Amino acid sequence: MNKTPFLKASIVTDLGFGDSGKGLVVDYLCSKIDSWALPLVVRMNSGHQVGHTVIHNGEKHTFSNFGSGTLRGIPTYYGKNTVMYPYGFMNELATLSREPSVIYHPLAMVATPYDVAWNQTLEEANEHGSVGVGYGATVTRNMDGVGLSVKDLFNDWVTVTKLQGIRDYYRDKATRAGNYENYLAVLRENVQPENVIPSFKDVVSFIDVARLEDLIVTHDNLIFEGNQGICLDKFEGFYPHLTWADCTSRSALDWLSNKEADIEIFYVTRAYQNRHGNGPMSSDRIVDLINTKEEINVPNKWQGTMRTRRLDLDLLKWALTTDHAYFPENL
C-alpha cells in the first residue's frame, strides 16, 4: 500500500454567523505559500451561496463559485457535499480577470432554476436570511432522492432527463404545499429557465472532475476554506435559522485524520456580532458601524440588512468548544 504523501493543511473556520472575513484569511494564507509548494483551496461543504471578498493587486472580487485563492492562480477543489450552480458559475466566470482552475468531486450536487425558485418562494414567506440562490433546496431535494450531480453534466441526455424529473418534483411539492401558483410566478419572473439551461452545457468546458484523494499526489498544501459560521451549522445552529451545511472544522479534519499532515486551524470573527435574517442574536446591544466603504454585505431582497450587535465572548467560547468536540480522536 502506498504511503500517503505528507501534507500541509490550513483550515479556516468562522466562529459566528458567517461573513467574518474567511475569504481575506484564505487569500492571506495563499500569499504566504512557498513558491515551490503546490497549493489547492478546498471547499468541503456549502456552495455558491457564499460571498467571500478578496482584494488583490487593486482588484476586488466577491467569490461565490470559486475559491478565494483564484486571483493568485491557485486552483479550487469542491467536495461531494458542495453545490454548484452552472448559471451562477458562468456569470461569475465572465467577471474574472483570469480563467480559474476548478475541480469538482463527481458527486458534487448541481442546483437548478427550479431549486432557486422554490428557495425564493419559501424565503418570501419565512425571511430566514437565505441568499435565495437555491442551496438549501438543492440539498433537501437530493436528500429526497432526486439527484443531479456534476458527473451528469457531461451527458446531455442524462442532464435533460434529470432536469425534467426535478421540474416535476417541484411541481408536485408546490402543489401539495398549496403554493404552486406562487412558485410558478417566481420561476417565470426571477429565474427565466430559458436563459439558464444553456449554462448546464457550457460549464463542462471550464471544470475538471476528480476525487481529492487523487489530487494530493500533485497538491501538497491544502487550504480548507470554510463556509458560513458555526452558529449557522446544520446540527449546532439555532433552528430554523440555520444552513444545510456543516460549518465546523469537522469535514476537513475527518478527511485529514488518516493522512500524515501538519494541520493548523484559523478561527475568524469580526470585532462584533453580525448576522442576516430574523434569527436570534445573543446580545441586545446594537453596534453602529463606521468606515463601511468596503463592506459588501449591503441590504438585499433575500437577506435583508445585516444586523450588528456587541461581540459575545461567551458565544465565541461555545463555538470553540463545539468545534473541538468534533475533532477526530486520533488528532
What pLDDT was estimated at residue 303?
64
| Predicted pLDDT at 165 | 96
The pLDDT score that the predictor gives to residue 296 is 67
d(CA 95, CA 100) in angstroms, rounded, equals: 11
Which residue numbers in the chain have pLDDT < 50?
1-3
Neighbours of 111 (CB within 10 A): 28
pLDDT at 312: 95
Task: Output the DSSP codes for 158-185.
Answer: HHHHHHHHHHHHHHHHHHHHT-HHHHHH
Quick one: pLDDT at residue 2? 43
272: helix, coil or strand? coil
Residue 252 burial (C-beta neighbours within 10 Å; 0-12, 13-18, 19+): buried
Burial of 36 (0-12, 13-18, 19+ CB in 10 A): exposed
pTM beyond 0.75: the answer is yes
Question: Residue 116: how many CB atoms within 10 A of its CB?
Answer: 25
> SS3 of 267, please?
strand
* The amino acid at 16: G
